[in-house]
């Protein structure tokens, strides 16, 4: 068989990188020639995990051809994959997402389970093939589970993710909690970003209830207080947006991914919509929103129903 190229989705997260590396290793042990690839830049969180376990990042891959024989991990949808994916031969998929916008001309290996992380499924494949997982690869796989499940706190986390993480922690001699917190924290290192960049890292401008023009931005952190030391400058950046974009509401969510809460900074003439929506009182333009982490599920629909 020709060489297998193994890669995860665009804008790769830790699972996409870890499962590419682990799968390429597994395929090599099974007698195939296989190499991991990545479809984009390594995040700070992933960089922390790679450095910790002393593994190099995969080479960048920008496109495939009809001569390529590929293994997809952590995704299947063409939109999320490499350019010209439809031309390549797909040998195998290992994934934990819905199946959509995916098709093949030939039968293939496809292993999917509705678990929190691709590496949880990969662990099973190592077991079934009686291949031992090296210490460094195990550590990277553990990092992926910690990342995808936010240290087992995400609603996507299953018992199998947790027990698999415990086995990988044992192999890699890792303290899940202290390492996991440090890794997640590395991913939330916002120090290199300006305040203007922070309010635009992950931002959406929406019109609420056909009348309120709102910008809703979000930054993830392990330490709300640290971000809040930059409150004055963040407000300055937000006020500029209120002016230039003609916003009625500018809401910045500083989300604590460890404890699953957000601190909101709220500006604009309709700031009181946030007070009404979450039964909170803004003090100096800010309020704590307990349990609120999802813009899509917990913010936009709530603001909409309270604005009507």
Q: What does the binding site for a second copy look like in residue numbers (CB under 8 A)?
A: 96-115, 124, 128, 296, 300-301, 304-305
79 vs 197 by CB, closer to a second copy: 79
Using CA atoms, how far apart are residues 119 and 197, in angstroms rounded to an integer?
32
Question: Which residues contact residue 136 at a Cβ distance below 8 angstroms, ignoring those fewer than 6 apart?
Answer: 53, 54, 55, 172
In the bound complex, what is the minimum distance in angstroms from residue 57's beta carbon to a second copy? Answer: 27
The whole-angstrom separation of Cα 47 and Cα 9 is 17
Q: Kindly state the smallest distance separating residue 74's Cβ from a second copy, in Å.
A: 12
In the complex, least distance from residue 124 CB atom to a second copy, rounded to whole angstroms: 8
How is residue 220 written in tokens? 């993830």
CB 157 → a second copy: shortest distance, Å?
13
Give exposure, 212-245, as e/b (b: 16+ Cβ within 10 Å): bbbbbbbbbbbebeebeebbeebbebbeebbeee
Alpha-carbon distance of 198 to 234, in angstroms, equals: 8
Residue (59 or 127) nearer to a second copy, CB: 127
Residue with tokens 């994934």: 95
Q: Would you mind telling me the total number of residues written for the chain in this entry? A: 308
Residue 98 neighbours by CB distance under 10 Å = 11
Residues 51 and 74 sit within 8 Å (Cβ to Cβ): no
Smallest gap from residue 126 Cβ to a second copy (A): 13
Instruction: Please say which residue, 89 or 162, places its beta carbon nearer to a second copy.
Output: 89
Comparison of 104 and 194: residue with beta carbon closer to a second copy: 104
Residue (105 or 232) nearer to a second copy, CB: 105
The CB-of-110 to a second copy minimum distance in angstroms stands at 4
User: If you search the block for the tokens 């990188």, which residue do you land on?
Assistant: 17
Nearer to a second copy, 62 or 207 (CB): 207
């Amino acid at each position: 068989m020709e060489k297998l190229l193994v890669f995860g989705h665009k804008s790769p997260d830790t699972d996409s990188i870890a499962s590419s590396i682990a799968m390429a290793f597994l395929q090599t042990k099974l007698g195939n020639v296989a190499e991991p690839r990545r479809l984009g830049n390594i995040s700070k969180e992933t960089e922390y995990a790679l450095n910790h376990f002393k593994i190099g990042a995969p080479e960048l891959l920008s496109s495939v051809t009809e001569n390529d024989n590929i293994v997809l991990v952590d995704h299947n949808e063409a939109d999320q994959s490499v350019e010209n994916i439809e031309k390549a031969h797909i040998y195998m998929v290992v994934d934990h997402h819905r199946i959509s916008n995916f098709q093949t001309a030939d039968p293939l290996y496809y292993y999917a389970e509705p678990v929190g992380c691709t590496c949880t499924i990969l662990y099973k494949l190592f077991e079934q093939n009686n291949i031992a997982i090296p210490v460094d690869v195990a550590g990277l796989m553990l990092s992926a589970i910690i990342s995808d499940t936010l240290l087992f706190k995400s609603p996507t986390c299953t018992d199998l993710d947790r027990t698999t993480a415990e086995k990988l922690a044992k192999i890699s001699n890792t303290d899940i909690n202290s390492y996991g917190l440090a890794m997640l924290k590395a991913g939330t290192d916002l120090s290199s970003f300006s305040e203007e960049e922070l309010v635009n890292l992950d931002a959406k401008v929406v019109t609420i209830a056909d009348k309120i023009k709102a910008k809703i931005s979000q930054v993830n952190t392990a330490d709300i207080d640290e971000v809040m030391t930059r409150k004055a400058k963040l407000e300055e950046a937000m006020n500029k947006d209120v002016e230039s974009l003609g916003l009625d509401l500018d809401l910045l969510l500083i989300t604590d991914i460890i404890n699953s809460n957000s601190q909101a900074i709220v500006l604009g003439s309709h700031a009181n919509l946030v007070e009404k929506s979450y039964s909170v009182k803004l003090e100096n333009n800010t309020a704590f929103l307990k349990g609120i982490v999802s813009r899509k599920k917990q913010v936009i629909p709530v603001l909409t129903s309270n604005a009507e």
